[in-house]
Amino acid sequence: MLVGSGVLNDSFTAIAVWGDDNMTTEKDGLLPGEKFILKIWDGIKELYVSEITWDSGNCYYQPDGVSVVRSITISEENNKEGFRLFQNNPNPFKSGTEIRFYLPNEGTIILSIYNIIGELKETKSCRFDYPGNHCVYIDGSKLCTGDYLYTVKFGDITKTKIFHVEN
């Protein structure tokens, strides 16, 4: 469902993302907390967005919310290598962060967070019904200050990165 659009003009654009009208039975917009995906076209084809860095907000719709993108990384060709895990953003963080990854096909990921001595602190399992870029939000308020490892398992592949919490 298309819930917003804009045109790039001198390296800047604004996109209004609209919410669902709860006065109708038809779903015609996003619900609070529902994820939206930014897609970019060059006029002919969709470009592969490999990473998005947010100045404020994130990729989850909030009524009257404002999300500001600092940068978007576009790769010349789509990821042919398969599953990829990107560095979380922001990092370091206090209240929350996004774990971003690329899935070459639909499937389920298992995200696990460990403290620096290897104790499991959180596990999430998420199903994604289409290939492409995805993100999972982590609530940092539940974690003490320090470094943590996060692993994302997709099929038989597990990738690990590190983040820092400042609470």
How much is the average pLDDT of 116-141? 92
State what percent of residues in the chain have pLDDT above 70: 86
CA distance 61 to 35: 6
Q: Which CATH class is domain 79-167?
A: mainly beta
Strand pairing of 68-75 and 46-56? antiparallel
What is the rounded average pLDDT for all residues in the chain? 84
Start-end ranges of CATH 2.60.40.1930 in the chain?
79-167
Write the pLDDT tens digit of every residue in 29-47. Answer: 888 888 877 777 766 666 7
Residue 165's pLDDT is 94
Write the pLDDT tens digit of every residue in 66-113. Answer: 888 877 777 655 544 588 899 999 999 998 999 999 898 999 999 999
Residue 79's pLDDT is 44
Residue 137's pLDDT is 94
Residue 45's pLDDT is 67
CA dihedral 92, 54, 66, 2 (to 10 degrees): -140
pTM: 0.56
How much is the average pLDDT of 118-147? 92
Q: Is 132 exposed, middle or buried (0-12, 13-18, 19+ CB in 10 A)?
A: middle
